[in-house]
């Protein structure tokens, strides 16, 4: 049976203007036709009509920075040491949260290495989750890195794939790809925040090895020194990019290096200052540091956008403090930082597809998948309406 979603507006992240009085005809989970309401083509067999009046259709969202096996919250790092059985339960719960929020694609950028209770393999848990969810439309489509690759001492012991030098970095990259990772995640915040844990040359060797295997490399970048090393080494994207300058973003634009924004992480830390008594968030001096970091992160996004850098957006849920159904918060945060609403929507949809190299991700087009999200309101003038999801197909 075909389904006609009648009398909707469409916002697909390509324009600051809504397409009004539109209808979308779907057959067998593919978009058969898009056009003005009342001009629907004849269809063989019965057509189920859904009255979409007053709502806006946006493409299925792409969370470009997620951690499927982790729950998030103020103790997000501790949760990485929960038993693997529990972490797989968390992934199932996150899948339901993602779908309810309209997120159809999840780019997992790191999960703990454990023995998977289902398949018995010792590797990053998200890789098994990805494999088991594939082909099941009730789950998001997943592209997954392995685990974080970091210099020893950067993260709590036992959480990441820790290496001591550039040779170890290269070995770890190959190991992650051998485990089945779709791409590789480097961690460029080191034990000394004033020094990158790896040089640009060491990063370049790792990137060359991954590219030779047909895989991309992304890099966690919370500091300017790490961003410089990652960009100098030719990574394909930076995660967070909380500290960028004009020189770095100019190089990113020149080399085609994308930025994956996670501004809402810092907004959530601000909220934790009121909802928890954890010193990191509640101590007045540390709250001031978070505020300063938030301002630099917002400026980094503005610089990147002005330079023409591709910006995709993510929540960092699980590996950070957000939850799996909060990508709308990142869209709002991008607008607050200075992007136009349609640009923020593009970051959460089509730009994520470009980052992934997936032409069906984050788009609404004839012949494409019927991954549609219906929201109440106009996301091009009111980004908060992205919280008001009433139907996901």
Cα separation, 380 vs 315, whole angstroms: 20
Q: What is the mean pLDDT of the chain?
A: 97
Cα separation, 377 vs 29, whole angstroms: 25
Confidence (pLDDT) at 42: 85
Q: Give percent of the chain above pLDDT 70.
A: 100
Same fold, 2-59+362-392 and 61-356: no
Confidence (pLDDT) at 281: 93
Is residue 235's pLDDT more than 90?
A: yes
Cα separation, 14 vs 57, whole angstroms: 13
pLDDT in tens, 8-37: 999 999 999 999 999 999 999 999 999 999
- Report the DSSP beta bridge partners of residue 105: 62, 141
Is residue 262's pLDDT more than 90?
A: yes
- Tell me the mean pLDDT in the region 200-218: 98
What ranges do the domains of the chain cover? 2-59+362-392, 61-356
| DSSP conformational letter for 317 | B
- Report the DSSP beta bridge partners of residue 114: 123
Inter-helix orientation angle 246-255/284-307, to 10°: 40
Confidence (pLDDT) at 255: 98
Query: What is the SS3 assignment for 156?
Result: coil
- Report the DSSP beta bridge partners of residue 30: 27, 369
Cα separation, 128 vs 117, whole angstroms: 10
**CATH fold of 61-356:** TIM Barrel (3.20.20)
Cα separation, 135 vs 182, whole angstroms: 17
Identify which of 328, 342, 356 has the alpha carbon closest to the alpha carbon of residue 100.
Answer: 328
Cα separation, 134 vs 289, whole angstroms: 42
Confidence (pLDDT) at 44: 80
Question: Please, are residues 146 and 127 in contact by the beta-carbon 8 Å criterion?
Answer: yes
Confidence (pLDDT) at 45: 85
- Tell me the mean pLDDT in the region 305-322: 96
pLDDT band at 194 (very low <50, low <70, confident <90, very high): very high
Domain 2-59+362-392, CATH among 1.25.40.10, 1.10.340.30, 2.30.40.10, 1.10.274.30: 2.30.40.10
Is residue 350's pLDDT more than 90?
A: yes
pLDDT in tens, 35-93: 999 999 987 889 999 999 999 999 999 999 999 999 999 999 999 999 999 999 999 99
State the residue for tokens 């923020």.
344
Confidence (pLDDT) at 48: 96
- Tell me the mean pLDDT in the region 339-355: 98
Confidence (pLDDT) at 43: 78
Confidence (pLDDT) at 320: 83
Is residue 1's pLDDT more than 90?
A: no
């Amino acid at each position: 049976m075909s389904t006609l979603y009648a009398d909707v507006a469409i916002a697909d992240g390509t324009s600051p203007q809504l397409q009004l009085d539109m209808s979308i005809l779907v057959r067998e989970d593919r978009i058969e036709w898009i056009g003005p309401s009342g001009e629907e083509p004849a269809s063989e067999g019965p057509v189920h009509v859904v009255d979409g009046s007053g709502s806006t259709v946006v493409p299925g969202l792409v969370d470009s920075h997620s951690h499927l096996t982790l729950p998030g919250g103020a103790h997000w790092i501790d949760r990485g040491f929960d038993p693997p059985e529990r972490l797989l339960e968390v992934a199932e719960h996150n899948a339901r949260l993602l779908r309810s929020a309209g997120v159809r694609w999840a780019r997992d950028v790191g999960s703990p290495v454990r023995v998977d209770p289902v398949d018995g393999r010792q590797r990053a848990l998200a890789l098994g989750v990805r494999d088991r969810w594939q082909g099941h439309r009730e789950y998001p489509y997943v592209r997954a890195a392995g685990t974080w690759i970091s210099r020893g001492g950067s993260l709590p012991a036992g959480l990441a794939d820790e290496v001591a030098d550039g040779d170890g970095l290269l070995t770890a990259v190959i190991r992650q790809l051998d485990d089945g990772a779709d791409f590789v995640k480097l961690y460029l915040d080191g034990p000394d925040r004033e020094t990158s844990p790896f040089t640009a040359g060491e990063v370049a060797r790792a990137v060359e090895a991954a590219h030779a295997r047909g895989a991309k490399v992304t890099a966690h970048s919370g500091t300017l020194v790490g961003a410089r090393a990652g960009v100098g080494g030719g990574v394909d994207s930076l995660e967070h990019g909380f500290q960028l300058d004009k020189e770095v973003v100019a190089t990113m634009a020149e080399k085609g290096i994308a930025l994956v924004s996670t501004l809402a992480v810092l907004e959530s830390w601000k909220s934790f200052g009121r909802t928890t008594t954890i010193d990191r968030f509640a101590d007045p001096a540390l709250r001031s540091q978070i505020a300063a970091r938030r301002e630099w992160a917002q400026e980094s996004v503005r610089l990147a956008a002005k330079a023409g850098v591709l910006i995709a957006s993510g929540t960092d849920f699980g590996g950070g403090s957000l939850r799996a159904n909060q990508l709308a918060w990142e869209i709002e945060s991008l607008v607050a930082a200075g992007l136009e609403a349609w640009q923020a929507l593009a970051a959460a949809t089509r730009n994520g597809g470009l980052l992934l190299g997936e032409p069906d991700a984050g788009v609404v087009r004839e012949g494409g998948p019927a991954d549609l999200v219906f929201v109440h309101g106009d996301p091009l003038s009111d980004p908060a309406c992205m919280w008001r999801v009433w139907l996901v197909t």
